[in-house]
Amino acid sequence: MPKTNEQEPLFDLEPSQKESKETITGNRLSPSKLEKLSGIYKTYEKSDNELSFLSEILKTEKQPGEEELLKNAKWSIYGTQVHNLIYFAQIFERAKALDRKPKETDIRNTFVYRDRQFYRTMTELLLLTDYDSPNPSQSFWNEWRMRGQDFNPKDNSSYIIKPSKIQEIWENSPVPLKDIHQLYENIKEQDEKKFSPHETLLINEVTTITNIYFPDSNLQVPSVIDEIVIPKNFPQQPIQIIDYKTGKQFKEPGIVEKKQAFLMITAVYANILSKAGNAKFGPNDWEVGHNIYEFPAFKKRSLRVLPVGSIYAEDLIKDIDTINNCIAFSYVDPLTQRRIDFKPKDTGTETQEEMEETLYYLNSLNNFYSKYKEVLGPRLRSNDSFYHLPILSKDLILRTPSAYQPSLI
């Protein structure tokens, strides 16, 4: 089958072409789906003809067994709980730097673009936290883990791994005590400015939606970014994107991981970059007069709405210097604080030619998916769809929690 990358990439859009973007075919593909799609695309490129490709792709896909799905679920729960443990630990450290306890506005300024139910639930959990314990942030994490978690899916879907099994894994926690201790021992190895709300705006689990307009297709990419760190002296110092990786996931990135990093950088460029310069850092006169200090936040309330950014492929290429100078990307192991810092060449943004090749590849994937969407859709199903992780529910916050494991107290 002829390879599509033998065609000349065209990213010079005329104004008339830009105006017609709404009539061009578009797809919504998450980074995880793009990862799976790239593997299938390799098969497509190696096929002799369309018939042999379709014959291969239409073969009955072996469904993961329950044992494999349970293993995936445990690692997913482990990752979710460890990620939140470091998020909460950082909130408590940042509040401590202001000589006070965490409060609702800290939650709002750290977990942006959430609904009121989330903030109310998290505030209730703050009230249940044992501040006399040796580690209040761990107490808060335990309350979050054991109270208010709704394990019943709202869509009444039938999952292979039953909600009761997920609840058992979740409440007995796959996070061993040694990992918790290691996280707390190493967390302060980070830059001290990160813990200072006067120096750094820090937001976690940032959901963004990015529309990328190519000459012949539109691609919408929803992303969840673990952490975005915006320094007070931006743009003298770049925005930091941190992707937390645990266990075997913390490794030198391959081609797929580099493309995923590129998509997160693009998301920050399209959704966050223009807002970073408007961030409000304290202390202001009112805070000093009342001795009440707040975490930094975006100035305008409208900026708290779920960001949907749009960018033309050609504009990404033209603005490559801004991207490389103003946005940095790293893997961080939350337990050890080891880092893998990506360079522009790692994400395909070192030169305009590399950027164009990266964008052309994404456009090729997008057009490929459009052409074979009916057969590819089922193949992109995530293992996560075989089970349901819990969500916070204020209605359940006052339930009597199961006994904590002794090792987690």
The total number of structural domains in the chain stands at: 2
Which tokens belong to 156? 């009444």
On the question of pLDDT at 2 being above 50, the answer is no
279-280 and 391-392: which strand pairing?
A: unpaired
Phi, psi of 211 (to 5 degrees): -95, 120
Residue that has been written with the tokens 């604080």 in this structure: 337
249-266 mean pLDDT: 92
Q: For residue range 124-149, list pLDDT tens digits in order.
A: 999 999 999 999 999 999 999 998 79
Q: What percent of the chain has pLDDT over 70?
A: 85
* Residue 244 shares a structural domain with residue 346: yes
User: Is residue 1 in some structural domain?
Assistant: no
On the question of pLDDT at 405 being above 50, the answer is no
* Residue 337 shares a structural domain with residue 200: yes
Q: For residue range 382-399, list pLDDT tens digits in order.
A: 666 788 899 888 776 666
Which tokens belong to 214? 């190519």
User: Is residue 164 in some structural domain?
Assistant: yes
On the question of pLDDT at 287 being above 70, the answer is no
The mean predicted confidence, pLDDT, of the chain is 86
- Give the pLDDT of residue 61: 66
* Residue 233 shares a structural domain with residue 370: yes
* Residue 271 shares a structural domain with residue 285: yes
On the question of pLDDT at 46 being above 70, the answer is yes
User: Is residue 57 in some structural domain?
Assistant: no
* Residue 376 shares a structural domain with residue 293: yes
DSSP string, 52-104: HHHHHHTSPPPPPPHHHHHHHHHHHHHHHHHHHHHHHHHHHHHHHHTTS---H
* Residue 155 shares a structural domain with residue 290: no
Which tokens belong to 74? 């445990």
334-346 mean pLDDT: 93
On the question of pLDDT at 26 being above 80, the answer is yes
- Give the pLDDT of residue 334: 96
* Residue 375 shares a structural domain with residue 391: no
Q: Where are the beta strands (DSSP E) in 156-250?
A: 200-213, 218-231, 239-244
User: Which of these ranges, 44-53, 238-247, 294-303, 349-358, has the smallest mean pLDDT?
Assistant: 294-303
CA pair distance 317, 173, nearest whole angstrom: 45
Who has greater pLDDT, 332 or 303?
Answer: 332
User: Is residue 326 in some structural domain?
Assistant: yes
User: Is residue 61 in some structural domain?
Assistant: no
User: Which of 18-27, 32-41, 57-66 reaches the highest mean pLDDT?
Assistant: 32-41
- Give the pLDDT of residue 13: 43
* Residue 211 shares a structural domain with residue 161: no
* Residue 98 shares a structural domain with residue 74: yes
User: Is residue 240 in some structural domain?
Assistant: yes
What pLDDT band is residue 50 in, cutting at 50, 70 and 90?
confident
On the question of pLDDT at 285 being above 70, the answer is no
* Residue 210 shares a structural domain with residue 359: yes
Who has greater pLDDT, 308 or 17?
Answer: 308
On the question of pLDDT at 249 being above 60, the answer is yes
- Give the pLDDT of residue 228: 97
User: Is residue 23 in some structural domain?
Assistant: no
Which tokens belong to 21? 């973007």
CA pair distance 127, 104, nearest whole angstrom: 10
- Its domain, for residue 377, covers 196-381
User: Is residue 175 in some structural domain?
Assistant: yes
* Residue 212 shares a structural domain with residue 356: yes
Cβ atoms 125, 228 nearer than 8 A: no
- Give the pLDDT of residue 406: 45
355-373 mean pLDDT: 93
User: Which of 39-43, 87-91, 161-165, 342-346 reaches the highest mean pLDDT?
Assistant: 87-91
* Segment holding 279, helix H or strand E: strand 279-280
* Residue 342 shares a structural domain with residue 374: yes
Q: For residue range 180-229, list pLDDT tens digits in order.
A: 999 999 998 888 889 999 999 999 999 999 999 999 999 999 999 999 99
- Give the pLDDT of residue 275: 84
